[in-house]
Amino acid sequence: MQTERPTSTATGFQPIPTGHPGAPGAEVHREMIYQTGQGTCCNQDQRNQPQAYAIEAAALIFLSGGLHIAWSIGFDSLLAELEVSSHLRISWFVAAIVGALVGGFFSQRLTYKQLMQLCAMLTVIGGVVMGVRRFNVKAMFVARYLNGFANGLAFAPTLAMAGELSVYYRRGTTASAGEQWSTALGIFVQIVCSASWDTESEFTVEQFQGVLSAVLGVIAICMAWLLTIESPVDMLHRGDEQAAIDALSRLHRPRAVTAETYDQLDNHRTYLVHNQPMRGLRGWTEALPAVLHLCLLRGLYATSSSMLVAYTLSYTSTVVYPGSSGPFVLFGLLRLVGSCASAFALDTLGRKIPLLLGLVMAGGLAAGVASRFVVSELLRVKDMRMALWLLLLYQLFAGIAFGPSSAYLSEAFPRSVKRQCIALAYALEMIIQLGICRVDLSRNIDGIDNIAGFFFSLAALLLAEFLYSVWCMPETKMTTLRQAQIKFRNFVVSQQA
């Protein structure tokens, strides 16, 4: 295979020696080249950019999904124009559940590139249907079902691929940025539009959402075609080592076969050997601790940006800052900032520090929000102001807390059941979102009892998850996929893990 062999070390790496790997001194030379290849942080980012680009098509699909999630939990402009049925609100979540199960259990019948092109095409069709029809319930149903199915279908394969395409020292950021940033950005865009849109305009927020989704889908199709790279682990599994080497070389910039390429190849080969006996019942048995851990974590993630949270934001901001869209914009921005900060920290501070910090702070803030609704029978403006600002800070720390969940999903499970386990965690997340959307706020005056009960329960769960994570969630920073998987083998993490 022809490879590019730059003569300068300015790029932060050197080509591997042409001699046989077993030749005397070759291992020493390979180690020197590998250390040179690490380079500075900027060199690492530039060199590893193709790994992020390889899942960028899915990130754009998740961004469009964030628009629909925000719409589903209450950030819309239809209340004055069109009665929004419960079915319409939960339709995206229903479709996402179906798509996740299909993607988790049957997606390997297609290549990753084909799967992303299919999901992007569904996103385009759904966006066009929503964009061309104004206040049309049937069109919105079609669009939301198509977009939800596309997001669910793409989720498990993308996080599984993120772990296999990334170098071990960038895996956390790649996985978290691909999912969390995109979804949080979509939610932020929808919040800003719904809060600031001119209701007199002939072009509605929902039509804008459709047009934006269609544009994102078109870009995703192009990126899937040009930048998607198939998993080198799959190629090794099929016995095509040369194709795996070529894929690994394409995952770095500039494209070249280096010592790091062969180190990654060895790690993938060891990973396959380790997972070879883990099939069928044994695979599910090995995955059980991680499935329980991460289903619980993703379930709490669903509650952090749910309909009751959006309702509380709307209620408190209306009392404190009537007519202002500032609290809504700040709500979405702080969630985005928290997700970004967490993703940046995953390969430096590690997964566990952001997780624990975010959980304990979010739990305390949730308890503070709940306490503002039970201090007296007559709610005061100062209580609502305090509740509002606690809620905004809660979103910041929730973004920090749940950023590591994407990285954990990409590395925790045996390979034979990885996509299925990721799909189950995502399906549970969507079921919880769906269930919260079904809460009838009219049963209590202004929904106050619902708010207090919800946030007290959420605080208790978050703090319980904090204590649980101290003992049960491992630190997987700077580990290979095989090493990370081993750390999830037991329900309780040993001190050495």
Q: What CATH number is given to the structural domain containing 470?
A: 1.20.1250.20
Q: Which domain, by its residues, includes 337? A: 47-230+277-487
Q: pLDDT tens for the chain, 497 residues: list them.
A: 333 333 333 333 344 343 344 444 433 333 333 343 445 556 677 888 999 999 999 999 999 999 999 999 988 865 444 456 788 889 999 999 999 999 999 988 899 999 999 999 999 999 999 999 887 888 999 999 999 999 999 999 999 999 999 999 999 999 999 999 999 999 999 999 988 887 777 888 889 999 999 999 999 999 999 999 999 999 999 999 999 999 999 998 888 888 889 999 999 999 999 999 998 899 999 999 999 999 999 999 999 999 999 999 999 999 899 888 899 999 999 999 999 999 999 999 999 999 999 999 999 999 999 998 886 555 678 889 999 999 999 999 999 999 999 999 999 999 999 999 999 999 999 999 999 988 766 555 455 667 888 999 999 999 999 999 999 999 999 999 999 999 998 888 765 44
Virtual CA dihedral for 61, 411, 407, 306, nearest 10 degrees?
70
DSSP state of 225: H
Virtual CA dihedral for 161, 163, 168, 169, nearest 10 degrees?
100
Phi-psi region of 85 (alpha: psi -120 to 50; beta: other; left: phi over 0): beta
Q: Residue 377 has what pLDDT?
A: 56
Does residue 319 sit within a domain? Answer: yes
Q: How far is CA 448 from CA 77, 374, 390, 455, in A?
A: 23, 9, 17, 11
* Residue partners of 107: CB distance under 8 A and separation at least 6: 115, 153, 156, 157, 419
Rounded CA gap, 43 and 281, in Å? 43
φ, ψ dihedrals at 275, nearest 5°: -90, -10
Does residue 251 sit within a domain? Answer: no
b/e 10-39 (16+ beta carbons within 10 angstroms → b): ebebbbbeeeeeeeeeeeebbeebbebbeb
Would you call 275 helix, strand, or coil by DSSP? helix
Does residue 40 sit within a domain? Answer: no
> What pTM does this model have?
0.89
Q: Residue 23 has what pLDDT?
A: 42
Rounded CA gap, 72 and 160, in Å? 27
Side chain identity at residue 271, one-letter code:
Y
Which of 367, 379, 266, 250 has its CA nearest to residue 318?
379
Does residue 272 sit within a domain? Answer: no
Q: Residue 218 has what pLDDT?
A: 97
What is the number of structural domains in the chain? Answer: 1
Which of 240, 244, 301 has its CA nearest to residue 268?
244
Rounded CA gap, 367 and 254, in Å? 51
Q: How far is CA 352 from CA 10, 300, 333, 399, in A?
A: 35, 16, 24, 14
**Cβ burial, residue 332 (10 Å; 0-12/13-18/19+):** buried
Q: Tell me the DSSP string of 393-423.
A: HHHHHHHHHHHHHHHHHHHSS-GGGHHHHHH
Rounded CA gap, 54 and 118, in Å? 16
Whether 230 contacts 111, CB under 8 Å: yes
Whether 397 contacts 355, CB under 8 Å: no
Does residue 494 sit within a domain? Answer: no
Return the percent helix, strand and coil in the chain, to nearest 5: 75, 0, 25
Does residue 25 sit within a domain? Answer: no
